[in-house]
Structure 1
Amino acid sequence: MKKRSIGILLTVLLVVAVLAGCSSGSGADKTVKLAYVAWDSEIASTYVVKEVLESKLDMSVEMLQVDAGPMFAGVADGSADAMVAAWLPGTHASYLEQYGSKLEDLGPNLDGTKTGLAVPTYMDINSIEDLKDAELAGTLQNRIVGIEPGAGIMMATEKALEAYGLSDYTLLESSSAAMVQELEKAYQSNEPIVVTGWTPHWMFANMDLKYLEDPQAVYGGAEQIHTMVRTGLKDDMPEVYSLLDQFNWTPEDMEQVMVDIAGGQSPEEAAKKWVGEHEDQVNAWIAAVQE
């Protein structure tokens, strides 16, 4: 009797092991881990992908908010499955050089991005060169308001300070949200301010802002946002891979989600609203998955 019980137990354990093996081979029972940086633009895109994965493909999604370096590192080492937040060819070039051979680039999901130093249009300056003016520097308290340390735009701005001889300026490290708060405060009081800016971003829709000309091209030209996935994702989660490969939208699409979030909606609510209002576009993304 004891031997029979042991045999039954071993059989049950074997069945469980086989089922577990089958489960791990399919994406349906796995959690998709999406890494992203806390930029308004990347919050918008990543939550839209999350909403589509959950509502259309019945997947479970774990969101991993990290800085730019750990985002690339996480996808490269497999601790994250994917990201839709790689700004190329310039902003995240150093990270791509470091980790590019260990991840798969699915190409751009958005065209027409830009980074640089931005100011309110009421400021009578047009170029980064103008920041050399001592009187202007004084009114700006010799500071440029930045975002998270390690972000590509922060590294580019450090280079810009050197290239334009702006050693008297301090680049303030903060966060995307804190930078916008400082900008809004100055804007409402019609005070001068210089911030690290990028588009798409809802602040350009809500405030009259302009980029300072960059004659030395430190920030480069127009960029794209790329989707990056870990190696092996295509085999492990083919449906997820197909969706990520098809995901693409416009700056106007992204701005809709960002404006809703800035207006008080949660990222989940804004993403759900956008997906509901763009059914044809979303269905085109998942068409390849259903083939």
Structure 2
Amino acid sequence: MTPTKTKTKTTLAGAALTLGALATTAAAGPALAEVSESCRQVRLAEVGWTDIQATTGVATTVLDALGYDTDVKVTSVPLTFIGLEQGDIDVFLGLWMPSMAGMVQERLDSGAIDRVRTNLEGAKYTLVVPQYAADAGVTDLADLDAHKDRFGGKIYGIEPGNDGNLLIQDMIDADAFGLADWQLIESSEAGMLLQARGAWQSEEWIAFLGWAPHPMNTKMDIVYLTGGDAYFGPNQGGATVHTLTRAGLSDECPNLARFLNNLAFTVEMENILMGAILDHGETAESAATKYLAANPDLLAPWLEGVTTVDGAPGLPAVEAALME
């Protein structure tokens, strides 16, 4: 087993720092070749959403066991894209599509950022209301304005700068669905869900940003509104989540690239991990470690062709680390 590496977690408070020139790395060698020093640190963006906390926790748990030095940078979505483009961030596991297309597509098309793979299918992302509001006739975005008084003319979003909030504001600015005189309330994932849970328990009407996977789907009886495909994309399992890297990482760091190309999640897996974080106070790393120890069959496909940083087979090293 490779030596334990120190994991750090930092906060990006401003624009991403400019890096110096990257050291030239050697071409990929045969199996059991050591990972070059310039590829041994992996900087991952985590944007404060529980699903990305969970998936990032899984990735860092495995990478740490392989001997990598992982650095989780807590930042915003806009700064994540800047960080990837400028080379201050290596990996982001949370590109939700198509809702984030307007924020990232130009960077993808220009090659400023690389998209590695789809890591989750069957996700949902749009506005939701409690089941009792849907039972009263609010099942589509076009139904909201007729019940403006019941909703207080407010739509609850998450943190400022988030793509979902921007899409909601776009609808308001365009008077889509008659929402011109509605107000977007921005806070955070936790703040929004606290507001939603309180309203749901009191049977008050509330419209807020919802998504799956997330434990909100089992803790509250909610309905995803139809009609928002032009803004959010298909909401009935039509959203996908993708892995991004800084440009050139796959060529420079082939062992890391193999792992990222192999790494994929399921809605069920993420629901369980998020439940452990939100309901039981687990850290993302603790939740990931327990989940992987209980589901070891996940590791073999993720670690196919992947080694430790010292060139040893990756699977036995990770299995040993999970047993500790």
* TM-score, normalization by structure 1: 0.85
Cα 1:67–1:114 shift into 2, 3 Å: same
What corresponds to 1:8 in structure 2?
none
User: Pairwise mapping of residues 1-291 of structure 1 onto structure 2 (< 5 A)?
Assistant: 26-27=36-37, 30-55=40-65, 57-88=66-97, 90-100=98-108, 101-123=111-133, 124=136, 125-133=138-146, 136-161=147-172, 162-214=175-227, 217-221=230-234, 222-263=238-279, 264-290=281-307
Q: What do the CA deviations read for 1:195-235 (whole angstroms, capped 9, x no partner)?
A: 01111111002211111121663321112111111123224
Displacement after TM superposition at 1:36 (Å): 2.4
Displacement after TM superposition at 1:79 (Å): 0.3
Which amino acid letter does the alignment assign opposite residue 274 of structure 1? Y
Which amino acid letter does the alignment assign opposite residue 191 of structure 1? E
3-state SS of 1:287 partner: coil
Structure with the bigger percentage of helix = 1
Displacement after TM superposition at 1:29 (Å): 7.2
What corresponds to 1:5 in structure 2?
none
CA contact (8 A) 1:87 1:225 kept: yes
Cα distance in 2, alignment partners of residues 258 and 153 from structure 1: 20
Structure 2 segments unaligned to the other structure (5+ residues): 1-24, 27-33, 308-312, 314-324
Cα distance in 1, alignment partners of residues 289 and 162 from structure 2: 28
Cα distance in 2, alignment partners of residues 120 and 258 from structure 1: 21
What corresponds to 1:13 in structure 2?
none
Cα distance in 1, alignment partners of residues 129 and 255 from structure 2: 43
Cα 1:99–1:215 shift into 2, 3 Å: closer
Cα distance in 2, alignment partners of residues 29 and 83 from structure 1: 16
**Deviating more after overlay: 165-174 vs 95-104:** 95-104
Which amino acid letter does the alignment assign opposite residue 186 of structure 2? E
Percent identity of the aligned residues? 30
CA contact (8 A) 1:106 1:229 kept: yes
3-state SS of 1:122 partner: helix
Structure 1 vs Structure 2 CA RMSD: 2.2
What corresponds to 2:21 in structure 1?
none
* TM-score, normalization by structure 2: 0.77
